[in-house]
Amino acid sequence: MAAARFTGSWPTLAAWGAGLVQLALGAGVIMGDVGPGPRAVGVGLATIGAATLVAGVVWLARGVRRHRLALTLAVAGILAMAAALAVDPAHVSVAALAVGVALEIALAVSILGLRRAAQPRRTTQAAPRRVGVSGLLVGAVVVAAAVTPALASTEAGRLAPDHSRHTLEIGHQH
């Protein structure tokens, strides 16, 4: 039971990381100089990314209850990222794609682990779901360490303004 408390937040964290990467990759394809077909793939990828983010919020609040739906979302995310790479390789970062796929696989593995852990309790009263803070912190650090450079390698990350340079304008001209 202690392991379940430690890893209980990991599907949520993996979903948030994968969703952010999918949104960034989808935005890169949408904003690229591509035709309507690749742009549709980018919109689909961004939509799956947004759905993955929302699913992560629901999973943190209520726990993962629909395991097949969660696994379907993970597989759809992997397929959409692969489709984006196939239709617009110039605007899809392979590094970000690798992180996104790894997070989707981590999501699927953690969902399968939760599903397996929940099976023996079907005949008994379900225990209240509790997520350990230490597991949440460890998972958040791992996901942030993977997702931050992945986001920087995407088209959206490369085109973002440099945040280390700020100009201070005193006064204004008429």
The closest of 74, 77, 95, 113 to 152, measured between CA atoms, is 95
At residue 14, does pLDDT exceed 70?
yes
Q: Which residue has the tokens 């696994």?
A: 71
pLDDT digits (tens, 9 = 90+) for 107-134: 888 877 766 666 655 544 444 455 677 7
Instruction: State how far the Cα of 27 lies from the Cα of 44, in Å rounded to an integer.
Output: 10
**Residue ranges of E strands in 46-111:** none
**Residue 82 main-chain phi, psi, to 5 deg:** -65, -40
Alpha carbons within 13 angstroms on the beta-carbon side of residue 86 total 10
Residues 38-50: tens digit of each pLDDT:
899 999 999 999 9
Range 53-81 burial, b when 16+ CB lie within 10 A, else e: bebbeebbeebbeebeebbebbebbbebb
Residue 16: CB atoms within 10 A of its CB come to 24
Model confidence, pTM:
0.79
Structure-block tokens of residue 29 = 């394809």
Question: Between 62 and 27, whose confidence is greater?
Answer: 27
How does DSSP classify residue 61?
H
